[in-house]
Amino acid sequence: MTDDGLPTPEDILRSRPLVYFATVEGEKPRVRPVTLIENQGRLYVITGAKDDKVSQIRSNNNVEIVAPQRLGDAVVFIRISAKAVIEEDPVERARVAGVVEWFGDYFSSPSSPDYALIRIQPDVVLYKKPGIREPVVIPKLSL
């Protein structure tokens, strides 16, 4: 928590929030809700290997994430401009799969060809608190 009682960006990201995840398809943005997973200081999205977001990232790896969180009548949010990487390392794929309680509901194993792990590499992180007009740039996340 911050001095003003609000969650820090790291608090929000560690909570495995439902976020809005934007990729690029041709010249158009494509936004969908996904769960953002923090593990060992890195951010990930788990998805199906044949999902559109995987091919979109392979064509253009620029992504954005917005993580809003309601606090009573107010909303704080984090906006992350990032590069996305389709993670192929079997050790990392298994490590992340092992901490996601719902992984087995969608995939048979971490080596399943149907499973894609997307690693998020933040470039710019903005944090918007209630009552503040402009978001604050977070120079480095401490996950």
Per the structure block, which two tokens stand in for 86?
A: 């389709």
Per-residue pLDDT band for 1 (boundaries 50, 70, 90) equals: low
pLDDT tens-digit series, residues 85-122: 999 999 999 999 999 999 999 999 999 999 999 999 99
Place of tokens 């969650």: 7
CATH number at residue 107: 2.30.110.10
Task: Give the number of domains in the chain.
Answer: 1
Long-range contacts of 99-103, Cβ-Cβ distance < 8 Å, separation of 24 or more: 99/37, 99/39, 100/37, 100/46, 103/46
Whether 4 has a pLDDT exceeding 80, the answer reads no
CA dist list (Å): 118 to 32, 40, 113: 14, 15, 14
Distance CA 136, CA 71 (A): 18
Is residue 1 included in any domain, yes or no? no
pLDDT of residue 103: 97
State how far the Cα of 42 lies from the Cα of 122, in Å rounded to an integer: 10
- Structural domain contains residue 121: yes
Closest CA to 45 of 9, 77, 13: 13
Please indicate, yes or no, if residue 29 is contained in any of the structural domains: yes
Q: Which residue has the higher pLDDT, 87 or 129?
A: 87
The answer to whether residue 39 is domain-embedded is yes
Structure confidence by residue, pLDDT tens digits, 53-71? 999 999 999 999 999 988 8
| Structure confidence at residue 3 (pLDDT) | 66
Q: Say if pTM beats, i.e. exceeds, 0.85.
A: yes
Residue 75 placed within a domain: yes
The answer to whether the CB of 103 falls within 8 A of the CB of 65 is: no
Q: State the residue range of the domain holding 106.
A: 9-138
Eight-class DSSP state of 31: E
Per residue in 9-56, pLDDT (tens digit) is: 899 999 998 999 999 999 999 999 999 999 999 999 999 999 999 999
Residue 4: inside a domain: no
Residue 20 lies in a domain: yes
Instruction: Evaluate whether residue 130 is within a structural domain.
Output: yes
Which pLDDT does position 2 carry in this prediction? 64
Query: 122 near 130, Cβ under 8 Å?
Result: no
